[in-house]
Amino acid sequence: MSANDHTQAPPVPPRSGFVLMVATMALLFSLVAVLAVAFRMQNSNSTVPAHYGSTMMNGSTVHGPASMMGAGTGTGGGAGVETVDVVIKSDEEHARRGPEGTWHDAFLPASFTVRPGATVKVTFHNYDEGEHTFTSMPLGLNFKIPGGSARHPKSTTFTFRAPDHRGTFLWYCAMPCDPWAMSHVGYMRGYVTVA
């Protein structure tokens, strides 16, 4: 910087004006913080009881208690509809190889991500003759997936509402099929991530 620049610089505002500006900004920030805390409390009040109070195994194919979550807080607004396609194949159809080298029954993919509050339409394409389920305690879901065949896979669509809060929710197949696959994530169990 040259001396010339210095002389042409605009005058520094009076000190009292500067202090007033800082004080106003501090007030605004604290107001925003208070609002954020209040909003968060309201949000958790509405989601926690529905999340943990869920009863299940009712065979409902449309919705579980998850659909009751988040009434009124508006966090899920505009989340829209999301579609998920899952292929189910048996070990004979070479669904997915386990670490020990043998093929197992599997949902492909077994894990997927949806947005908070979204209406999720999941279509299962079952190439296996056996029945499977998409069961999740935390999501309050228990979808029964009818059997199909390798030549004529059976497609079944279920709809549920994703929780308004972010998280990772375990699901598993409750229908006795492939015991190893039933206890391993990526085969007959997986995660629905809400993010």
* Token duo for residue 21: 């500006």
Nearer to Cu ion, 104 or 165 (CB): 104
Nearer to Cu ion, 107 or 160 (CB): 107
**Least Å from the CB of residue 168 to Cu ion:** 21
Pairing relation of β-strands 119-126 and 81-89? parallel
DSSP structure class, residue 185: B
Q: Which of 87, 188, 192, 194 binds Cu ion (CB under 5 A)?
A: 188
Q: Which string of x and - marks every residue 141-180 that binds Cu ion (by CB under 5 A)?
A: --------------------------------x-x-x---
DSSP for 118-168, written as a single string: -EEEEEEEE-SSS-EEEEETTTTEEEEE----SSSPEEEEEEEEPPSS-EE
**Least Å from the CB of residue 121 to Cu ion:** 21
Q: Is 95 in the site for Cu ion (CB under 5 A)?
A: no
Instruction: Give the span between the Cα atoms of 193 and 53, in whole angstroms.
Output: 20
- Residue ranges in contact with Cu ion by CB under 5 A: 132, 173, 175, 177, 188
